[in-house]
Amino acid sequence: MPITSWKVGAGNTAYAMPSTLDPRLIADLRAMRRVVVFTGAGMSAESGIPTFRDRLSGLWAHTDPMEIATPWAFRADPQRVWDWHVLLAGAVCTAAPNAGHAAIAALEQAGLEVTVITQNIDDLHRRAGSREVIELHGNLLRLTSFVDEEAAFAAASPTICRVCDGYAVWEHCDPWAERGDLAAIGLRAGPVPRCPGCGALLRPDVVWFGEPLAVDAIEAAWNAVDRCEALIAVGASLEVEPAASLPWRALARGARVIEVNPAPTALAAECHAAIRGAAAEVLPELFARIWPTRC
């Protein structure tokens, strides 16, 4: 997708190409050492993983997320939800990090303090070499046990399984089961697996609609945003909270904020620069322009 430069935004933002960024902004950014890169599904689009909300190709264009990505959907039809995630895992496992992921990892390796805060569940930032990665919405390829809140709280004193740390389904956990038995189970086609210790159904360790984010993940994200001098928001529609608030929080705290997206969001009108283009094309060029000695 070509990088295009076009109009002046409603706020103080001019849509820019990396080559037309305001030299004063570049000078500011060049002096900065603490950078957050905040990413959404568009970051992995050029790796072949579909986004969620793109009108034609997005996952939610063909599937109602309420039927596939909520705890209630899993409770009602675990096999359907499992099978859908297995298909997505197929796309994730065959995907490779793109030039954008690589550019972010290279920036960290060049000595900047880079924290990646991602909504993506595909692990491509880590596979590209980024070390400081906060996965706000979990990781598709990791499994956890499904906590059926209704059943758990109906029991007089629910047992916690020592293998999966969830509410045990069987009255007595299997004394021979080990954590390693659980780790060996993957997101593969077939019947929904169960925890070998307690019989609880297993599910991908991702955050579905209606579920809270892991407290340590969102706290780490807030800390990184509050410390950063610059935040670059890439490929995120900013429609899902609390992740969507992070770029705004950085702006409010005085950080320089840049958006990279072929379809600018509301942030574009308020941030310091909005670059209309695809992540894999824009990021290597953008970083080379801002930090030429490090890229």
Q: Enumerate the active-site residues.
A: 137
Stretch 113-132 residues interacting with ligand APR (CB under 6 A): 119
Query: In degrees, to the nearest 5, what angle opens at C-alpha 60 toward C-alphas 58 and 64?
Result: 165
User: Taking phi first (over 0 means left), then psi (-120 to 50 degrees means alpha), and beta for anything else, what does residue 119 get?
Assistant: alpha
Binding residue for ligand APR, selected from 16, 29, 42, 195, defined by CB under 6 A: 42
Cβ proximity of 198 and 166 under 8 Å: yes
Stretch 131-150 residues interacting with ligand APR (CB under 6 A): 137
Short-list 272, 281, 295, CA closest to 235: 281
Stretch 74-113 residues interacting with ligand APR (CB under 6 A): none
What is the 3-state secondary structure of 165-225? CCECCCCCCCCCCCHHHHHCCCCCCCCCCECCCCCCEEEEEECCCCCCCCHHHHHHHHHHH
- Concatenated DSSP letters for 84-139? HHHHHHHHHHH----HHHHHHHHHHHTT-EEEEEE---S-HHHHHT--SEEETTEE
Determine if 262 is a binding residue for ligand APR (CB under 6 A).
yes
Q: Helix (H, G, I), strand (E, B), or coil: what is residue 256?
A: strand
Binding residue for ligand APR, selected from 36, 45, 114, 124, defined by CB under 6 A: 45
> Residue with CB nearest ligand APR?
42
Query: What is d(CA 247, CA 285) in angstroms, rounded to the nearest whole number?
Result: 21
Q: How near is the Cβ of 79 to ligand APR at its closest, in Å? A: 21
Binding residue for ligand APR, selected from 9, 25, 53, 181, defined by CB under 6 A: 53
Return the number of the residue (201 or 232) whose C-beta is nearest ligand APR: 232
Q: How near is the Cβ of 139 to ligand APR at its closest, in Å? A: 12
Query: What is d(CA 125, CA 162) in angstroms, rounded to the nearest whole number?
Result: 31
Determine if 44 is a binding residue for ligand APR (CB under 6 A).
no
- Segment near ligand APR (CB under 6 A), from 39-47, 170-178, 193-201, 217-225? 39-47
Return the number of the residue (194 or 272) whose C-beta is nearest ligand APR: 272
Binding residue for ligand APR, selected from 41, 163, 257, 274, defined by CB under 6 A: 41
Determine if 158 is a binding residue for ligand APR (CB under 6 A).
no
Binding residue for ligand APR, selected from 115, 130, 144, 261, defined by CB under 6 A: 261
Determine if 51 is a binding residue for ligand APR (CB under 6 A).
yes
Cβ proximity of 283 and 125 under 8 Å: no
Return the number of the residue (124 or 278) whose C-beta is nearest ligand APR: 278
Determine if 40 is a binding residue for ligand APR (CB under 6 A).
yes
Cβ proximity of 279 and 128 under 8 Å: no
CB-CB neighbours of 279 under 10 Å? 30
Return the number of the residue (45 or 286) whose C-beta is nearest ligand APR: 45
Stretch 200-259 residues interacting with ligand APR (CB under 6 A): 234-237, 239-240
Contacting residues for 120 by C-beta, under 8 A, at least 6 apart? 39, 40, 41, 43, 44, 135, 137
Return the number of the residue (53 or 127) whose C-beta is nearest ligand APR: 53
Q: How near is the Cβ of 246 to ligand APR at its closest, in Å? A: 12
Short-list 169, 123, 121, CA closest to 145: 169
Residues that bind ligand APR (CB under 6 A): 40-42, 45-46, 51-54, 58, 65, 119, 137, 234-237, 239-240, 261-263, 278-279
